[in-house]
C-alpha cells in the first residue's frame, strides 16, 4: 500500500505539473484546449468543464493536453496553428520548464526536511582521532591549522587539502575557545581523510534553496553526460528504467521515508523534463524543432505530415516502453 500511494503521488505530481505547464501557457495564449489528460490509453474517467474535458486514463506513463489545431489543420481562430511561432514555442517548452521548477521545489522540501550540516559536532566516533584528541558533541569548529571554517564543506575540504599530518583544530566550547591536535586517518571505503566526527543538522530555507539549485544543475549535467555516453556506447538498455523500474525505485524510497520520495520525485521530474526536450518524434523537443524549421522557412510544415511523423514516433516509443518494461521485470526479479 505504501509503495502504491508513493507511486501514484510521484506519477501524478510530475505528469500533472508537466501537462499543466502546456495547459496554462495555452490558456494564456488564448488557445482552445479540448482535453487535459493524465495517463494514456483507455479513458477511466472524464468530466467536461467549460470547453475542456479533464480525463484520467489507464496507463500511467504520461499524459497530454489536446489543443485545437495542434496535430491537424483547423480554421478556428483560437487553434494552436493560428498562433504565432513564439507563442507555440512557449506552449511547447512550458511542460519541461514546469518539470524543472517542480524539481527545484521538491528538492528544496527534501533538503529542508533533512537539514543542512553545520560546523557544530553532533557525534564523535569512539576510537577515532577526534575522540582520542578530546573533541565532544556540541563543539563548534572555527579553525583548522589557522584556516577559518565557515561551513561543514570547509571542514571536509580543509582536512583533505592538508593531508595526513597532525592538525590543530580550534573549537568553541561554550564560552571558551579550545584547541586539539589530531592526525586524520584514511577511510578506505570513502577514499578520503577523516577525523571521526558527524555534523549537527539544521533546517534553513536559504541553504535548502541553495542545495536545491545546485542539485538541479548537477542532475541536468548528468543527463547531458548520459546522452553523450549513449552515443559513444558507454551505456546500454540496462542503464535505462521504464514505468516498472520507476515504481520499484519509488517503492524502495518509500521504505526509507516519505521525505526521500520527494527527492526521487525531483529526479524523475528532471528526467521527464529533459527527455521531453530531446528531438524525438512525438516528444516536445521534436515539436519545437518543427516550429524552429517553420521560423527559419517563413512558412509552416504541413500539419498532416508533421502529425504522421509524431504518430510513428509515438508507436516507436510505445514499443521501446514495452521492451524496457520487460527488461525492468528481469532486472528487478519481480516474478
Dist CA 19 CA 25 (whole Å): 10
Q: Which of the residues 19, 68, 120, 170 is marked catalytic?
A: 19
Domain segments of the chain: what residues? 2-114+210-331, 117-202
Encode pLDDT of 261-302 as tens digits. 888 899 989 988 998 998 888 889 999 998 999 899 888 777
Active site residue 19: yes
Cα distance between residue 255 and residue 186, in whole Å: 32
| Cell numbers 516507436: residue | 316
- The answer to whether 120 touches 200, Cβ cutoff 8 Å, is yes
Q: pTM of this prediction?
A: 0.79
Q: What is the pLDDT of residues 174-204, one digit of tens each?
A: 999 999 999 999 987 878 899 999 999 999 8
Cα separation, 266 vs 61, whole angstroms: 17
Report the number of secondary-structure helices (H) and strands (E) in the chain.
Answer: 9, 10
As assigned by CATH, the class of the 117-202 domain is mainly beta
Which pLDDT tens digit goes with each residue over 199-243?
A: 999 998 988 999 899 999 999 998 888 787 777 766 555 555 555
**305 phi and psi angles, rounded to 5 deg:** -65, -45
**Beta strand 185-187 with 192-194: parallel, antiparallel or unpaired?**
antiparallel
Q: Which of 183, 179, 136 is nearest to 164 (CA)?
A: 183
Amino acid at each position: 500500500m505504501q509503495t502504491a500511494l508513493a507511486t501514484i503521488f510521484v506519477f501524478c505530481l510530475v505528469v500533472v505539473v508537466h501537462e499543466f505547464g502546456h495547459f496554462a501557457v495555452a490558456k494564456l495564449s488564448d488557445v482552445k484546449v479540448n482535453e487535459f489528460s493524465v495517463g494514456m490509453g483507455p479513458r477511466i474517467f472524464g468530466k467536461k468543464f467549460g470547453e475542456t474535458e479533464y480525463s484520467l486514463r489507464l496507463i500511467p506513463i504520461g499524459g497530454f493536453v489536446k489543443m485545437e489545431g495542434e496535430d491537424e489543420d483547423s480554421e478556428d481562430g483560437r487553434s494552436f496553428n493560428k498562433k504565432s511561432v513564439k507563442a507555440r514555442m512557449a506552449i511547447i517548452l512550458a511542460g519541461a520548464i514546469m518539470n524543472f521548477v517542480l524539481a527545484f521545489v521538491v528538492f528544496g522540501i527534501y533538503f529542508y526536511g533533512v537539514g543542512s550540516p553545520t560546523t557544530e559536532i553532533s557525534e564523535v566516533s569512539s576510537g577515532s582521532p577526534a575522540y582520542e584528541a578530546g573533541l565532544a558533541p556540541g563543539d563548534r569548529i572555527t579553525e583548522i591549522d589557522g584556516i577559518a571554517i565557515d561551513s561543514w564543506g570547509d571542514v571536509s575540504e580543509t582536512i583533505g587539502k592538508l593531508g595526513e599530518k597532525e592538525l590543530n583544530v580550534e573549537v568553541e566550547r561554550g564560552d571558551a575557545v579550545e584547541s586539539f591536535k589530531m592526525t586524520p586517518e584514511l577511510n578506505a571505503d570513502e577514499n578520503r581523510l577523516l577525523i571521526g566526527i558527524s555534523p549537527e543538522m539544521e533546517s534553513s530555507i536559504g541553504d535548502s534553496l541553495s542545495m536545491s539549485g545546485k542539485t538541479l544543475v548537477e542532475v541536468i549535467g548528468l543527463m547531458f553526460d548520459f546522452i553523450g555516453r549513449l552515443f559513444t556506447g558507454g551505456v546500454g538498455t540496462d542503464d535505462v528504467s521504464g514505468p516498472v523500474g520507476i515504481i520499484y525505485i519509488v517503492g524502495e524510497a518509500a521504505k526509507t521515508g516519505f521525505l526521500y520520495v520527494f527527492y526521487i520525485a525531483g529526479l524523475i521530474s528532471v528526467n521527464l523534463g529533459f527527455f521531453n526536450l530531446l528531438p524525438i518524434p512525438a516528444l516536445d523537443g521534436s515539436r519545437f524543432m518543427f516550429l524552429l524549421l517553420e521560423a527559419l522557412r517563413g512558412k509552416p510544415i504541413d500539419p498532416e505530415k508533421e502529425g504522421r511523423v509524431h504518430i510513428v514516433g509515438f508507436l516507436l516509443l510505445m514499443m521501446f516502453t514495452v521492451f524496457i518494461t520487460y527488461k525492468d521485470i528481469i532486472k528487478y526479479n519481480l516474478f
